Structure 1
Amino acid sequence: MYVENFKLVTFSRSGFVTISPNLTCLISGTNLTKTTLEGDGRSCVCLQGWYGKDCGLPQSFSASTFPWIRNQLKRRTRPRRVINAININNELELFEIRVWELHHVVDIFLVCESNYTAAGEEKPLRLFKNLQNGFLQEFQKKIVYVFLDHFPEDGRLNGWAADNYLRTFLGQQGLSQLSSLNDDDLFVLNDADEIPKAEVLEFLRQYDGYPEPISLKMKWYLYGFFWQELKKTIRIRAVSTIKVLKEVWKNDAIELRRENMLETYRRTSNNNYSVSLNPWFLGSNEFHAGWHCSWCFSPAGIQIKLRSAQEDDGIRWGDFPEKYNLVYIKTLIRDGLWFDNTKTVVKRNVFSYDDAPYYALKNAERFKHLLQNPFVEEEENAKI
Structure 2
Amino acid sequence: MISAFTKRFSFFAASTVFLLLFLVSREHLLPRQRINRKYDAGWTPELPAAAGAAEALCREHNFKPYRAGATTHRKVYDLFLISLELDWLEIRLHTLAPYVDYFVIVESNMTFTGLAKPLYLRENWSRFRDFHHKIIHRVVQDPGPRVGNSIWAHEDFFRNALLHNTFPSLMFSEMEAKEGDVLIVGDVDEVPKPETIAVLRSCEIPDRMTLRSHFYYYSFQWQRVGEQWAHPQATVFHGLAKTLSPVDLRHGIGGQRSRIPLYSAFIRWWHKIDLWDAAWHCSSCFATVAEVQSEMESFSHPDLKTLDDKRADTSLERFRTKNNLFGRPGQRYEKIKQNRDVPQYILDNSQRFSYSRCRTPKLRRWQIYNEKIVDSRLSRWLFEPLTRSGFRQNAWSRGAPLSVVRCTLDMLLCACMKAMASNA
Check whether TM > 0.5: yes
The residue number in structure 2 matching 1:304 is 294
Name the CA shift for 1:279/1:192 in 2 (closer, same or farther; >3 Å): same
User: What TM-score, normalized by structure 2, do the two folds share?
Assistant: 0.65
Corresponding residue for residue 169 of structure 1? 161
User: Which of these residues, 192, 195, 209, is aligned with residue 199 of structure 1?
Assistant: 195
The answer (yes or no) to whether the contact 2:222–2:336 under 8 Å persists in 1 is yes
AA matched with 1:257: R
1:25 maps to a residue whose letter is A
8 Å CA contact retained: 1:79, 1:206? no
Q: Is the 8 A contact 2:162 2:246 kept in 1?
A: yes
Deviations 1:207-234 (A, max 9, x none): 3x33232111110111111111112411
Counterpart in the other structure of 2:82: 88
5 Å-filtered alignment, 1:221-260, equals 221-236=216-231, 238-243=233-238, 246-249=241-244, 252-260=245-253
Report if the CA contact (8 A) 1:212-1:276 is conserved.
Answer: no
Matched, 1:295 2:284: yes
Q: Tell me the distance in 2 between the aligned counterparts of 1:266 and 1:349.
A: 54
2:30: which partner in 1? none
Deviations 1:88-138 (A, max 9, x none): 11111111111110001111111010000111111111111011xx11111
Distance 1:341 1:170, change over 3 A: closer
| Count, aligned residues | 309
**What is the Cα deviation at residue 156 of structure 1?**
6.2
Q: Distance in 1 between matches of 2:141 and 2:205?
A: 38
Rounded to whole Å, the distance in 1 between the matches of 2:78 and 2:163 is 11
Correspondence list, 1:15-94, <5 A:
15-17=47-49, 24-25=52-53, 54=56, 56-57=57-58, 61=61, 69-70=62-63, 72-74=64-66, 79-94=73-88
Distance in 2, Cα, partners of 1:340 & 1:334: 13
Which letter does structure 2 place at the counterpart of 1:217? R
Measure the CA separation in 1 of the matches of 2:361 and 2:140: 37
SS in 2 for 1:25: helix
Once the 2 structures are TM-superposed, how far is the Cα of residue 326 of structure 1 from its aligned partner? 2.5
After TM superposition, the score normalised by the length of structure 1 is 0.72
| Partner residue of 1:336 out of 322, 331, 348 | 322
Out of 324, 349, 363, which is 2:337 matched to? 349
Q: Given the alignment of the two structures, is residue 323 of structure 1 paired with residue 309 of structure 2, yes or no?
A: yes
Contiguous gaps of at least 5 residues in structure 1: 1-13, 27-52, 62-68, 380-384
Instruction: Output the CA distance in 2 between the equivalents of 1:96 and 1:136.
Output: 7
1:239 Cα shift?
0.9
State the 1:159 CA deviation.
Answer: 1.3
Q: Give the structure with the higher percent helix.
A: 2
Report what 1:144 is aligned to.
136
Please give the root-mean-square deviation of Cα atoms over the aligned residues, in Å.
Answer: 3.2
Please show how residues 242-281 of structure 1 align to structure 2 within 5 Å.
242-243=237-238, 246-249=241-244, 252-262=245-255, 264=257, 278-281=271-274
- Are the counterparts in 1 of residues 220 and 339 from structure 2 also a CA contact under 8 Å? no
Structure 2 portions without partners, runs of 5+: 1-45, 366-424
Q: By how many angstroms is 1:204 displaced?
A: 1.2
Asked if 2 retains the 8 angstrom alpha-carbon contact of 1:120 and 1:155, the reply is: no
Instruction: Return closer, same or farther for 1:183/1:276 CA change in 2, 3 Å cut-off.
Output: farther
Q: Could you tell me whether the CA contact under 8 Å between 1:245 and 1:253 is conserved in 2?
A: no
Whose Rg is larger?
A: 2
Whole-angstrom distance in 2 between the partners of 1:103 and 1:266: 43
Q: Percent identity?
A: 23
Please report how far the alpha carbon of residue 360 of structure 1 lies from its aligned counterpart in structure 2 after TM superposition.
Answer: 1.1
